[in-house]
Structure formats: C-alpha cells, structure tokens
Structure 1
Amino acid sequence: MKEKKAMNRIKIFDTTLRDGEQSPGCSMNLREKIDVALQLERLKVDVIEAGFAIASLGDFNSIREISSAVRDVTVASLSRAIPKDIQTAYEAVKIAKRPRIHTFIATSDIHMTYKLKMKPEDVLLRATDMVKYAKTLCEDIEFSAEDASRTRPEFLYRILESVIKAGATVVNIPDTVGYTTPDEFYRLIKGIKENVSNIHRAEISVHCHNDLGLAVANSLSAISAGASQIECTVNGIGERAGNAALEEIVMAIDTRKDFYHMTTNIDTKQIFHTSKLISKVTGNRVQNNKAIVGENAFAHESGIHQHGMLANSSTYEIMTPESVGITKNNLVLGKHSGRHALLERINTLGYQLSTEKLDDIFTEFKLLADKKKVIYDRDIEALIQEKAGKIENAYKLSHFVINSGNTITATANIMLLKNNENFEAVSHGHGPVDAAFKAIESIIGDRFELEDYTLQSVTEGEDALGEAMVKIKFGEGIWNGYGLSTDVIEASIEAYLNAINKGLHFGEDKEALKWA
C-alpha cells in the first residue's frame, strides 16, 4: 500500500497594507486599514505586513493601531537596513502580540552599484550588523535580499548565511522586478537550501512581482523547491503590474493538494468577501475574468459547459463557489423579511456586525426592500460596505433635482446637509453627473479633480442597485469614494461626496496625506 505523504503547511504573509497600498490609487485611510487588517485576521493569514513605519507619521500610527487591533496574527513593519528605520519599525509593532521587524537591503550587482553605491562586502556587513541590531529589539526578524532573483547566487548564499547567524528567523528571496521564471526560481531556492549551511535555522520566504505575469507561478515553484512562506496581496494589487495574488496561490494549493502535498491556514470561505473589501476601499475593481474572485470565475455560458454542469458540476468546476465564500442561499429576502432573517444571512456571508451596525444596516435594508422585489446577497454586501465607508460629521445629501436631455443643457439642483445646516446650489454641466458634481463643488467652495469614475450594477434586473466609485485629487491626496442606490445619479453623487468627505476629514492632517 502506498504511504500517504505528509502535508507541509505554507505560511501566508499578506502585504496588501504595505506593498499593495503602494500601487497608484490604492491608498487607504486609517479606518480602512484597520478594517482590512481585521478582515485579514478573519481570513487567517499568518503575517500582516502593516506598513513602512519610517515613511510617515501616518504610516507609523496605522501600524501601531493595527498592532493593537489584531491578536491572532504576526504584525510586521518594513524597514531599510538603517538603525533609525529599524528602531521606528519596532516602536510601531512592539505592542503587537506577535511583532516582527522586516528589514531589507539590495544585493544584486545592478542595485549595489547604481542605487546603493556600495561594494558587496559593505552590503554584507551592513545587512549583518542591522539584523544583529534588530535582534536586540525583537525576537522575530525577517531579512530580505532585495532583487535576489538577479543577485549572484554565491553572494546571496553568503549574505543569507551571515544574517541567519546574526539572528534572522526568516530570509526572504524577492523577485523584486518580476524578472525570473518558474524553473529558474526553483533552482535558486533549491540552491539556497543546498548551499547555505545554516538554512535549517530560518524559514525561506518568497516575494514575487507580476511584471511578466509569472508571480503566482514563481511562488508555487518556490514552495515546491522548499520555501515555506509566500508573500502576496489580495487581488494581486501592488506596484507596477502587482504582486502574487493571495487568492490564486491559496486556492491552487487547496485545489491541488494531490500535487503540492501542502496546506495553508487560510479560511478560504473568507476569500471572496476579502476581495470585495479590498476593491471597495481602494476603488480598484478586479476584471471579470480574474481567477477565483472575478464575476465570471464561476459563470458558464457555453451550451456544452452548461450541459456538463447540470449533469455533474465537477465537469467544469474544479472548485465550488461556496469554497471561496460565494453563497447560494435559497432564502429569499424582501420587504417582509425581519431582522433575524437578515442577521442570519449576514452571518452566512461571513460578516460580524455590532448591534449598532446591524441596526443601521436593517434600516437601509428596509428602505431598499421598498424599491426592490428581491434582495440578493450582493445587495446586502454592498449595503454593509457602503455603510462602512461613511464619514461622521460630513456633508450629506439632502435632496437633488436633475433636468437633462439630448436637447437641453443638464441642470442639477443639489441640497447638502452638514451640522443641521442646509446648503444649496444649482449648476449646469455636460450631463447630469457633471452638473451634480459641479453643484457640490459650488456648495463646498473647492475644485476637485476627477481622476476616475465607474458605474455598474450590483445584481441583475431593472431594479438593481447601482454601484458608483470615484477617485478625486484634492490637495496632495487621492481619495476614493463609494456610492450605492437604485438611482445611478444618486449613487454617483453619494460616491463623489464620500470621496470629498474623506479628503476634507483626513486631509487636515498634512502627514496623513502621505498615506490616507
């Protein structure tokens, strides 16, 4: 009888809040970062890289708040191999139940020559000394050899051996510019395991970028070669073409246990919800054909496919929608549904709401039920996400009147409410949305540059909710806004107001402009 091979557990290091947030237009404010961190904890990632503490006061404070908010996950802060960086990183994470300092220095010839302007021996000495220093502050130290995939293997072996001797508990091998290939990366990780004498004293981590579309493939190749931690982001967001996508890596390991003989600690039923949250707070949607979390990931239009699905779903589905948190609940919700039925559905969807938040959602649910015959799961998720993005003591929409047509100039009459005081303006525009936005600007007295605007339906049907997302440039920051309504003009207005309120609220802290 063939002996069953033991499953190795792969740790998931999530850097959505650090590397992911560095992606243009993916910035988050403090409250959004905490919401994301708490959701990542529910997803059961092993490590949250919460930010780059030295980057700004805002980044430092957000890392510290996240360190306080989560309890069942390691919290890491990135730092250059510089004493001040390392000290600041430690101060930000020291209150975490499981703190980690993540320090890095470039090791490739091209980076050492042109960026660092340092000789290899000096880089080796700096890396070793800084890991020693970090170890005096914190037990858990991760060292990254930036641009490792383009580093001379012999030098990489030397520097890894030295930092492990100095106290590094994790050594990270980044494909910083997304240059390597799966076979090449496999050989690199294998070479490290065979040529670094003390590698058994540290975990091997990999951090792959997606410039050639190979980040997930390279990451999976690395774990086949012996890496035990993968650094990734939700939806694959990140600088340039992004990072390895958490959901793709996790589901590849989960679906192909027979091949990888590995497992993760991830609660896969939280994947879809986590993906939607990241899309909402960053304002970046995933494409419809995105693996695992795209709208079409479990859609079957071909007649042949549909026939096979009806006979046996495994003919064309290698995983179920339910396995990633997409529910198929037959309980119909509508205007006569009660609070208990709504709570049960919310819990099924994986949300945990306070009594106060549930009260707010139930009120919005009843208002929506008067406009729609049937409330879908995606409607409920949209209500929860829309409510979470509200700013207190902000401008609120009181009412609006739009006159528009193809033979008249669009006119918008907007009334906003703030601190129990009404403000009203009338403006013209190239269309109803443009006129409404200009009226809002007239009331607030500022000009906001519209960077992006998207509108789509949440579900099917004539009475579907319209979901609007906007990005505006205001002051030194880019602000995302989210709006929801069965009226697409109202959804657009709410999204614009949401972005403006964030800019006015968080923009008062000049340091926060660097991170919020």
Structure 2
Amino acid sequence: MALNHPSFGSIAPDRVIVFDTTLRDGEQSPGFSMNLEEKIRMAEALADLGVDVMEAGFPIASTGDFDSVHSIAEKFGKDGPVVCGLARSADGDILRAAEAIRPAARKRIHTFISTSDLHMRVKLRMSPEEVLAAVVRSVSLARQYTDDVEWSAEDGSRTDMDFLCRCVEAAIKAGATTINIPDTVGYALPEDMHRIFRTVRERVPGSDTVIFSTHNHDDLGLAVANTLAAVQAGARQVECTINGIGERAGNASLEEIAMAVRTRGPAIARTTGIQTPNILRTSRLLATITGFDVQPNKAIVGRNAFAHESGIHQDGVLKDASTYEIMTPESVGWTTNSLVLGKHSGRAAFRDKLKALGYEIGDNALNDAFRRFKDLADRKKVVYDEDVVALVDDEVVRQNDRIKLVALTVTSGLHTRPMATCTLEVDGEAREGMAVGDGAVDACFNAIRSAWPHEVALKLYAVQSVTGGTDAQARVTVRFEEGGKLVDGQGADTDTVVASARAYVHALNKLLVKRERTAPAAMTAA
C-alpha cells in the first residue's frame, strides 16, 4: 500500500527508504572520528550514493557534532536527502537537534528512549509509565519543529511486546511519522525481527499511517539478515552504515542490503534509490577518512569480493562469469582494467582517470595530487588504480589537517643506531624534531614526538601493500590510545617509513578531533 509521508510524499508500495547513520552511529565506532570538513565530504558522497535520509549527528553531544549537523543541513536543497539529528527524550536534546537541522530543506528529528525492562530499571531508573509519558512528551515537542519525526524504542528487540505496542501507539498518536524498532545489542534472530514487526503492525492502531524502520547491530553477525527479515515483515525503512561501521561489532551494512535487494529482487520484492555503481568509491572514501580499511573478504567492497583463486572457479568464470559471480563487479563500482597511467601521462589523462574513479576535486587539490602522482610514477614502473586512489585520498582528505608532515629524513642500517629528523607544520607553525630509535620506524615516531610532544600508547602498527611488486606503495595503519580513546590513522607511500610517518600524523589529527568532543552521559542510542 502506498504511504504519504511529509518528507517523501507518496511512497510506492515496494520502495524501501535508506536511512544512513554513518555520520552518527558509525562515527561512534572505537577509533573512528571525523572533523567537520571530512563529515561534509562524506555527506556529499552519501548524497551522490542516493541515501534518502542522512543522520548527520547527535547535536547535544558536543559543539563539534552540532556544527556538523548544522553545516550539513545548510548544504542540501529539496532534491537532497532528509537531514536528521538524533535526540534523547530530554527537552534540551530535542531543542538542540531542532536548531541544528533548522536550515535543512527537508529535516527530521529522531528521538529515542529505552523500553526494555532491563534498560528502564538499570539505565533509566524509570517506571514504564514514566517512559510512556516521556515518549508522548518528546514526540510532541519534536513535532513543533518539524513534520518529520522518528521515534525509536531503544533495545526494542528485548522489550515486552505488550509494552512495546503501548509505546508505539503513544508515539503515533503524538505525531511520529516513522517508528523504529531497533535490535540495539544485536541479540535478535531473523525470525524474532519478523515476528516483532508483524505483531506490532497488526496490533497497534494507526500502524498503516506510519513508516516502520529497522536498525540492527551485528554482534552475532546477523544485522543484514535481521534487516531483510524486518523488511519482509513490513518495515519500509532500513537503517545502516557504509562498510557496516558502528558501535561494538557495527551496524547493518548499506552496501550488503542494497545489493541483496537488487540481486534477489523477486524474493525480496523491494527497491531502493541507491546508485550502486557509487558504492565502492563511497566505501573507499570512508576507509580513508577514518583510517580503517575493510577486511579483504568483506562482501561487496572487500578486495577479494570478486577474486577467484580456485582453478575450478577460474575456469567457470572464464567461460561465463555468472557461474560464480551473482553480481557484476561493475555494478558496485569495481573496474575490470586497473592498469592505467605512467610517468609520461599528462594532467588531462590524470584528471580523466580521477573522474573515472569518482573524484571531482578543485584545481589546487588536483595540482597537489598530480605532483605526487608524477613523483610516484618516477618510482614505480606501473601505476594502478589502487595507487591513484591511495595517493589522492592521502592528499585530498588530509588537506585540512591541523598537523602536517613537511619533511622527514631517516638514517638506518646494519650496526648503525637509527636516527630521524622531521619537520611538522602545526596550525601553520613549523616545528622540528630529532630522535633515535630501535629501528627506522621507531626513530621516525620518536622524532614526531620530539617535534610535537604528546603521550599516547601505540596499540597497532600494520603494513600492507597497495598493489604487488617490490615497488608497491605501502599502506600503514596505526592505532593510538589516549585516556581510553582509540584512533586509527593511515598513510601510503612507496617508502614504508614515510608511509608510517603519514599514518602517525593522520592518527594525531584524529586524536585532536577526539579531544574536542565531549559526550553527554548515557549517550547510547538505538
């Protein structure tokens, strides 16, 4: 049955609304953080991907979160996505969210409160009747600032069914236009989610006038399965993130949901507005911004997703790709020919390649990226798409960093104590450092600490090659811990020590973002 919605008008019976929460729930992942410029760039990519609703942040959480939501709200017109701000049931949260989304052409307030016996007793210390009153009050207040209000029952999958139905009915009567029943802790099985949505929709008056939404966490690896089960039980909105990032084990993965709907169309009988050829570049952008790569065997966007090593598989694919590929690599943005440029390639060819890879960058950024490309081409026999992606992301994403690596010299060898000198630019001021270490990388890191003193615990140092060959670029990942906060950084270069320094400085910039954010108590959300 078609539904009328204040933000979308008439919604076709088979249309599923994609609600992306990469910028909110996703950014709460341990080690993940984004500054304002990075969030805006990610928001633009999500809009190009075709998401319907973009949860831009939790405005009450910090000044940075408020500014991010407000800036994103200013960015999109009526043809863009709905911009959503999250709020607890407290009046202050809702007023702050309302102010943050105020400039948006299409805007939503998403308010939530826990409804399970465990959460009400232990976390909220509220009675069921008090929670029910909070539902009505919060939704009613939110409706004063926008016609598009979503209400969520945090820990909904573990909530008593009778009480859940009472809360949903109260939210609908108070003016909620979307009802979200999340599996907040990733506990449910697909049959649980199907039963919950079917039961609520059958029992609650007015259910046919609102959109039901599903938000699933991946603690048992069932987030996507639970999402699809809810859709088949009548949910019309799916809440998800790029690469499945999110708290603990993460959220349902947008790319997996979108491709499941597209690939199994007759079985699921639903459609989305996702522009699937943009999936891979959106995934890669997020990985670069957060400094956290997806695992090689990740569905859809992992580098092995369309790789075939078994002789039997290779033989079948050569005869007909559909023997072992249920979707084409091109359908999600992979290219079949990644051998592209060399040292004789010019600026026009480089710009064309960037466009083919999904990059639209300004002249200044293009000049910087082209300079690094020519330098890379002088050191490598062949430059692959993966090399171009690594260097451009490293250049473009880092251009607004407060700390920049300007120069680095390292001496190392057999029977020689490694020594490093470096120059950093910190908020426009040059700082120099010198140090020795147990190895070239250790000396490099010590020199950076000498130039800009800080104390962090290095929890992870990992190196992988971007492509094959001894001249391949190294991609280095580092993880810091400071005061319980985790941040990841990445860097790429044909010199592993330089890549390590880039990764270290990237992590430092992430740490500065973390330091600026102060979260309110009990900030857990659906």
Shorter-chain TM-score range: over 0.9
Q: CA deviation at 1:165?
A: 1.4
**Which amino acid in the other structure matches residue 36 of structure 2?**
L
CA distance in structure 2 between the partners assigned to 1:343 and 1:24 by the alignment: 36
SS in 1 for 2:23: helix
Q: CA deviation at 1:96?
A: 1.1
CA contact (8 A) 2:343 2:374 kept: yes
Match of 1:356 in 2: 364
SS in 2 for 1:21: helix
Matched, 1:466 2:470: no
**Which amino acid in the other structure matches residue 199 of structure 2?**
G
Of 11, 23, 27, the match for 2:29: 23
Of 378, 390, 402, the match for 2:399: 390
CA distance in structure 1 between the partners assigned to 2:423 and 2:201 by the alignment: 66
Q: CA deviation at 1:398?
A: 2.0
Match of 2:412 in 1: 403
CA distance in structure 1 between the partners assigned to 2:373 and 2:496 by the alignment: 18
SS in 2 for 1:396: strand
Q: CA deviation at 1:44?
A: 0.9
Describe how 1:130-141 pairs up with structure 2 within 5 A: 130-141=138-149
Q: CA deviation at 1:397?
A: 3.0
Matched, 1:229 2:232: no
Match of 1:493 in 2: 501
Match of 1:293 in 2: 301
CA contact (8 A) 1:27 1:478 kept: no
Matched, 1:203 2:211: yes
CA distance in structure 1 between the partners assigned to 2:256 and 2:469 by the alignment: 31
CA distance in structure 1 between the partners assigned to 2:338 and 2:31 by the alignment: 38
SS in 2 for 1:409: strand
CA distance in structure 2 between the partners assigned to 1:420 and 1:27 by the alignment: 22
CA contact (8 A) 2:37 2:400 kept: no
Deviates more, 1:226-235 or 1:270-279: 270-279
Q: CA deviation at 1:446?
A: 3.3
Matched, 1:34 2:43: no
CA distance in structure 2 between the partners assigned to 1:9 and 1:415 by the alignment: 54
* Pair 417,22 (structure 1): closer, same or farther in 2 beyond 3 Å: closer
Match of 1:251 in 2: 259
SS in 1 for 2:379: coil
Deviates more, 1:71-80 or 1:340-349: 340-349
CA contact (8 A) 1:173 1:207 kept: yes
Q: CA deviation at 1:447?
A: 3.5
Q: Is there any run of 5+ residues in structure 1 with no aligned partner, and where? A: 1-5
CA distance in structure 2 between the partners assigned to 1:93 and 1:118 by the alignment: 29
Match of 1:187 in 2: 195
Of 354, 372, 385, the match for 2:380: 372
* Pair 317,174 (structure 1): closer, same or farther in 2 beyond 3 Å: same
Match of 2:64 in 1: 58
CA RMSD of aligned residues (A): 2.2
Deviations 1:418-458 (A, max 9, x none): 79987554422222101111122122233443233222111
CA contact (8 A) 2:213 2:238 kept: yes
SS in 2 for 1:414: strand
Q: Is there any run of 5+ residues in structure 2 with no aligned partner, and where? A: 1-11, 521-526
* Pair 404,330 (structure 1): closer, same or farther in 2 beyond 3 Å: closer
CA contact (8 A) 1:144 1:173 kept: yes
Match of 1:3 in 2: none
Of 341, 347, 361, the match for 1:339: 347
CA distance in structure 1 between the partners assigned to 2:68 and 2:82 by the alignment: 15
CA distance in structure 1 between the partners assigned to 2:182 and 2:93 by the alignment: 20
Match of 2:76 in 1: 70
CA contact (8 A) 1:402 1:413 kept: no
Deviations 1:48-102 (A, max 9, x none): 1111111111111111111122330111111111111111111111111111000
* Pair 258,29 (structure 1): closer, same or farther in 2 beyond 3 Å: same
CA distance in structure 1 between the partners assigned to 2:195 and 2:243 by the alignment: 28
SS in 2 for 1:280: helix
* Pair 368,438 (structure 1): closer, same or farther in 2 beyond 3 Å: same
* Pair 480,157 (structure 1): closer, same or farther in 2 beyond 3 Å: same
Deviations 1:327-370 (A, max 9, x none): 12477311111222222221111222223322222222111111
Using structure 2 for the length normalisation, give the TM-score: 0.91
Q: CA deviation at 1:461?
A: 1.7
* Pair 197,468 (structure 1): closer, same or farther in 2 beyond 3 Å: same
CA distance in structure 2 between the partners assigned to 1:476 and 1:267 by the alignment: 38
Deviations 1:8-45 (A, max 9, x none): 11111111111111111112222211111111111111
Identity of aligned residues (%): 50
* Pair 498,108 (structure 1): closer, same or farther in 2 beyond 3 Å: closer
SS in 1 for 2:471: coil
The aligned length equals 506
* Pair 180,422 (structure 1): closer, same or farther in 2 beyond 3 Å: closer
Describe how 1:476-487 pairs up with structure 2 within 5 A: 478-487=486-495
**Which amino acid in the other structure matches residue 269 of structure 1?**
P
Describe how 1:142-153 pairs up with structure 2 within 5 A: 142-153=150-161
Using structure 1 for the length normalisation, give the TM-score: 0.93
SS in 2 for 1:18: coil
Describe how 1:44-55 pairs up with structure 2 within 5 A: 44-55=50-61
* Pair 511,495 (structure 1): closer, same or farther in 2 beyond 3 Å: closer
* Pair 479,114 (structure 1): closer, same or farther in 2 beyond 3 Å: closer
**Which amino acid in the other structure matches residue 472 of structure 1?**
F
* Pair 330,143 (structure 1): closer, same or farther in 2 beyond 3 Å: closer
